[in-house]
Chain A
Amino acid sequence: MLRRMAKVERKGGLSEAALREFFREMLLIRRFEEKVEERFRAGELPGFLHVAIGQEAVAVGVCQAMEEGDVFASTHRAHGHTLARGTHPNAVMAELYGKLEGCSHGYGGSMHLYDVERGNLGANAVVGGGLPAVVGAALAFKFRGEQRVGVAFFGDGATNIGTFHEALNLAELWQVPAVFVCEDNSWAESTPAWQHKPVEDTIDRAKAFGMEAMKVNGQDVEEVYAATKKALAHARGGKGPVFMDVECRRLHGHYVGDPQIYRSKEDIEEAAEHDPITLLREQLGLSDEEFDEVDREIVEIVEQSVEFAKKGTDPKPEDALKNVYA
């Protein structure tokens, strides 16, 4: 016990117990995503899917740092953020199966996970689509004097689109309590960063707006957590928005089934060496026994979510006519 405690570095002021809980959350996302890939390949899931394998530390680090009342907008790669913010795996899986018990009641699907109760204002299938609304939510908090923060997730690919620039410009101009989390995995679908942005360092884009910006190692959950805490405190304290350039690795393809013909074997192998779950497991010094114990529990939760989803209620075809207007 003492040996393991000594191995845990304390970047985020986290206890070992807390870090073990983060590990559990990250493993839940990993096992959930692996199951999703498996069920998709089995032909059970409609539509198409983007999994967050390799980016678990970003989801868990950011979402664990958020406080009750904070809100966020997610991306097409939304399962991890949604699970990390506390939406039950059953509700997420049921949504992927298109069931009424899903977190968007079957109206959204993988790319449109919502859970307003937990501050999830929706995952967006349009790259950069959610950023302006986060500025608006933050503006509402500022208007009302509420100590709340709006958080936007997006990737480095989104930093080329107009909404990114307009949203950051407006957020900085109006000094609203927003945090922009760029999951900088250096891929825009199949297009590498060097082909999609002329600015080598993504952080320079935020600095151009005069925005407080920080670079974060996205494979290290403690660092992500600590940085997010700092960013949220800055925004919440009325000091304006913060940009987080969270450098991370996408271990799998853009979508489930992506053969990644555009990506070198070396790049895939290099990414795998930075698996955040392996890194945290080593940091915590978990024995095989200890790991297996957590893993069994997580696998069971994920299995149950599939069972729950399969037994879920199919919407009636004419339910399609509901929810168009309030």
Chain B
Amino acid sequence: MPELSYREAVRDALSRAMREDEDVFVMGEDIAEMGGSMGVTHGMLEEFGPERVRNTPISEMAIVGAGIGAAMQGMRPVVEIMYEDFLTLACEQLVNQAAKHRYMSGGQVKVPLTVRTQGGAGWSPGAQHAQQLEAWFVHIPGLKVVFASTPADVRGLLWSAIYDDNPVICFEHRTLYGLKEEVPDELDPIPLGKARVHREGEDVTVVATGRLVHEALGAAETAAGEGISVEVVDPRTLQPLDEEAIVESVKKTNRCVVAHEAVTRMGFGAEIAAIVQHQAFDWLDAPVERVGATFTPLPFAPVMEEFVVPDAEDVHEAIKRTVART
């Protein structure tokens, strides 16, 4: 089995789809000669040429909108938005257009568009280059949202996103691009809406996304040393959401912590907490704990950034709070 980094796994899914299918192409800012600001599309220009690995102007509305139009004609465009902060520039096209064409047309139209983007703190980019905005898009009926945390997952999920007939936004985490994992030679598509249990446990369920999956696994290891058995569940797809896997896990452990890098307030974790209290109320031995960023923009100075953004220690403390209740 070859070892692939998260970055290479994304490239592998894109390249395989483009080799097999002329309807798939990628476009975005600096993705051709430069290979993308994160190096994800590095080398693809040489293999596929400038028509299918298409450099664009800095023009998010038009890039996403052109993706929508090409998708409505049956192509399967993959649009790269360099930083997810810049999704805000394309929001009109994503929210009013991509998400709603099928509905407004009474089912006449399909928009098989994939938008890849990345973000994440931990390198002092400041307030406009590292936000985690996945919760904005989970709120929009008509969009699907993927947030993969490992090389195998990102490869299999991206493939499914490309071949889904709906607009899918795939969030990647910047600090995970170098993460390596052995993956099978064959690309196994991972169905959208299927959670992954990374570690089984008995006492607390941690539902974590993106980088926080790895922080949660670290916290689980620490907790294990204290005699606390932690189950770590990664939904992987935020919409559709594998509610069943999350609820089943909580019914087993009776405690739940939700962890993401995004701001806690009104974050994706709030929805998980609501689902869990509603569907597993009688099983809960403690309030659902939430771990996320403080309600501030991302600060520049490393010491402040570290304070704002959650890590394994924050997850560990939340785990201990749930256990302390009983």
Interface residues of chain A, those whose CB is within 8 Å of chain B, are 71, 102, 104-108, 112, 114-116, 121-122, 124, 126, 129-141, 143, 150, 162-163, 166-167, 169-170, 173, 322-326
Q: Mark B50-62, 1 if CB is under 8 A from A, else 0.
A: 0100001101011
- Determine the distance from Cα of A128 to Cα of B97 in the docked complex, in whole angstroms: 11
B34: Cβ under 8 A from any A Cβ:
no
Specify which chain A residues have a CB less than 8 angstroms from the CB of B57 in the assembled complex: 166, 169-170, 173
| Cβ-defined partner of B59 (8 Å) among A102, A138, A170 | A170
Given contacts A143-B22, A166-B61, A324-B141, 9 further A-B contacts (CB under 8 A): A112-B104, A115-B108, A116-B109, A129-B96, A140-B73, A163-B93, A166-B62, A326-B102, A326-B166
Assess whether A137 is in contact with B102, with CB atoms less than 8 Å apart. Answer: no
- Determine the distance from Cα of A112 to Cα of B107 in the docked complex, in whole angstroms: 13
Q: Mark B146-190, 1 if CB is under 8 A from A, else 0.
A: 000000000000000000011000000000000000000000000
Q: Mark B32-56, 1 if CB is under 8 A from A, else 0.
A: 0000000000000000000100001
Specify which chain B residues have a CB less than 8 angstroms from the CB of A139 in the assembled complex: 66, 69-70
Assess whether B66 is in contact with A163, with CB atoms less than 8 Å apart. Answer: no
Q: Can you name 19 A-B residue pairings with CB atoms under 8 Å?
A: A108-B106, A115-B108, A122-B101, A126-B92, A131-B65, A133-B66, A133-B69, A135-B65, A135-B66, A136-B67, A136-B68, A163-B92, A166-B57, A170-B66, A325-B142, A326-B102, A326-B110, A326-B111, A326-B166
Assess whether A132 is in contact with B109, with CB atoms less than 8 Å apart. Answer: no
Known contacts A104-B105, A116-B109, A131-B65; is A136 also within 8 Å of B96 by CB? Answer: no
Specify which chain A residues have a CB less than 8 angstroms from the CB of B105 in the assembled complex: 104, 107-108, 112, 114, 116, 122, 323
Q: Which of B56, B109, B112, B142 counts the most chain A CB atoms within 10 A?
A: B109
Interface residues of chain B, those whose CB is within 8 Å of chain A, are 22, 25, 51, 56-57, 59, 61-75, 77, 92-93, 96-97, 101-112, 141-142, 144, 165-166
| Cβ-defined partner of A166 (8 Å) among B59, B72, B103 | B59
Assess whether A322 is in contact with B107, with CB atoms less than 8 Å apart. Answer: yes
Assess whether A136 is in contact with B102, with CB atoms less than 8 Å apart. Answer: no
Assess whether B108 is in contact with A116, with CB atoms less than 8 Å apart. Answer: yes
Q: Which of A106, A133, A150 counts the most chain B CB atoms within 10 A?
A: A133
Q: For residue A314, give the distance in angstroms from its CB to the closest CB of chain B.
A: 14
Q: For residue B221, give the distance in angstroms from its CB to the closest CB of chain A.
A: 38
Specify which chain A residues have a CB less than 8 angstroms from the CB of B102 in the assembled complex: 323-326
Known contacts A107-B104, A129-B92; is A136 also within 8 Å of B61 by CB? Answer: no
Assess whether A135 is in contact with B69, with CB atoms less than 8 Å apart. Answer: yes
Q: For residue B174, give the distance in angstroms from its CB to the closest CB of chain A.
A: 26
Please, which residue of chain B has its CB at the minimum distance from the CB of A104?
B106
Specify which chain A residues have a CB less than 8 angstroms from the CB of B103 in the assembled complex: 107, 323-324
Known contacts A143-B25, A324-B142; is A137 also within 8 Å of B106 by CB? Answer: no
Specify which chain B residues have a CB less than 8 angstroms from the CB of A115 in the assembled complex: 108
Q: For residue A118, give the distance in angstroms from its CB to the closest CB of chain B.
A: 11
Assess whether A136 is in contact with B92, with CB atoms less than 8 Å apart. Answer: no
Q: For residue B212, give the distance in angstroms from its CB to the closest CB of chain A.
A: 27
Known contacts A122-B101, A326-B165; is A133 also within 8 Å of B65 by CB? Answer: yes
Assess whether B72 is in contact with A136, with CB atoms less than 8 Å apart. Answer: yes
Q: For residue A30, give the distance in angstroms from its CB to the closest CB of chain B.
A: 26
